[in-house]
Amino acid sequence: MIQQILFTIVTFLTIYFSYKAYSSIAFNINLGRDYELIDNKSSRWKTMFLIALGQGKMFKYFLPALFHLFIYLAFLFTQIELFEILIDGFAGTHRFLAVYLGGIYTFLISLIEILSILAFIATIIFLYRRNLLKIPRFHMPEMKGWPFKDANLILLGEILLISGIFMANSSDLVLQGRLPEHFHHTGEFAISRFFAEGIFNNFSTTTLQILERLGWWLHVLVVFGFILYLTVSKHLHLLFAFPNTFFTSLTPRGEMENMPVIMDEVKSMMGLSDTSDEEMDMSADIPEFGAKDITGLKWKNILDAYTCSECGRCTDNCPANITGKDLSPRKIVMMVRDRAEEVGEKIRTGKIDYIREDMKAEGTKLTAKNFDDGKSLFDLISDEEIFACTTCNACVEQCPLLINPLDTILQMRRYRILTDSAGPQDWMPMFTSLENSGNVWQLQETREDWIK
């Protein structure tokens, strides 16, 4: 009875704190502006199942993808055991599903154990690759500090989870022979039976009961801790991969998003606009083009940032980065997430200090629309980075989660050029010439004369 009460308390505390954390993340994502999605649900479902569930783009790097698949499959099938743990924890039963599933139960737990051994091997290999082999993309500047520790912590947590599974299962198998009235027969499991015969069979019954409960609680606490830890980890992609791939753009890769305001202006200049001069509000404020901060990006860009697994494939294949430029698409995405966290946290404080000066009035509440802390994305991402991009889409092509760093880069670049009238010195004459004479070669003739 004490265990049931303790389990219930721990479970509801986990639900409470995870709800608060995930609500904050949802709030941060919604700081981005709305944008129109292509309503093609059948293609979206297909993309989600192929990429998020089916790991469709992982196997461009075969061996890492294979090891990742071991961990991923173990994670999926372990949910069966977790479901049983939740029932046993609340009801005070022991291996509830074994009574109803019989031989199928033995098969499922054996499958979980086989996958867990493969996941354990993969975990050791990943720890070796990150810490001893030191693959370059895991040791770039943006990966120093927490990002590097994060990967190691989750791998160590995986080892603890696997240890808990085998400790509980192996002890249980021995106890089934010694205390059959409390530990009903489940059949022999594929892997733990060897641990039971070779190691756990030598322990006393009391010791085995303690080890069985320790293994069970270790499994519970690691899973609950993992649920909470995801909110501050790159491994949030385990959950967000599904909505991110579902909402990914279905337009051809490389097709840039038009800006309606500029399109209308160009149409007006060419006499193609449906709006007459009388209908146009000439006193309206000049719009802000592109994105200066989180609120200027689309919410999908921020969802991208929270989905990023920081694998570095985008940066590893970026021609600008390869040739020594400052640009790292992974860093761009990581900075968007960091800035979203910062802005979201400040807005949730409700402090009037963060309200724009021209919007301050008695009773005004702090919102995303009037927020201003004197900072922007350009404090985290330099002009050299956004202008180094060749828009080749290599980063978009390589991402296994369909994240689009290029879209963020283009929106920031548009802000610098169109709103700030700034950019690389060798670009500006081209823009000026294009605006004045309709060609990029600084010729004095009009566009029509130049064509002739």
269 occurs within a structural domain = no
**For position 335, what pLDDT does the model report?**
97
Q: What is the pLDDT of residue 252?
A: 83
Nearest to 300 by CA among 382, 402, 386, 390: 402
Neighbour count for residue 182 (Cβ, 10 Å): 10
* pTM score, whole prediction: 0.88
Task: Name residues of the chain where pLDDT drops below 70.
Answer: 38, 269-270, 273-287, 444-452
Q: Are residues 222 and 327 in the same domain?
A: no
CATH number at residue 403: 1.10.1060
Q: Is 292 in the same domain as 439?
A: yes
pLDDT at 269: 66
The verdict on 326 and 232 lying in the same domain is no
- What domain range includes position 346? 288-356+371-451
Alpha-carbon distance of 348 to 193, in angstroms, equals 52
pLDDT confidence of residue 418: 86
Residue 227 shares a structural domain with residue 300: no
Per the CB < 8 A criterion, the answer to whether 334 and 310 are in contact is yes
pLDDT at 37: 74
Residue pair 239/230 in contact (Cβ under 8 Å)? The answer is yes
Answer yes or no: do 316 and 184 share one domain. Answer: no
In this structure, the answer to whether residues 446 and 297 fall within a common structural domain is yes
pLDDT of amino acid 17: 96
Q: Contact 47/54 with Cβ under 8 angstroms?
A: no
Taking only the tens place, the pLDDT of each residue in 339-383 is 999 999 999 999 988 998 888 887 789 999 999 999 999 999 999
Looking at the structure, tell me whether residues 415 and 339 fall in a common domain. yes
* Number of domains present in the structure of the chain: 2
What contacts 275, CB < 8 A, 6 or more positions away?
264, 268
Question: Does residue 440 fall inside a structural domain?
Answer: yes
Same-domain status, 311 and 220? no
pLDDT at 278: 52
pLDDT of 234:
92
399 Cβ neighbours under 8 A, 6+ residues apart: 57, 313, 314, 405
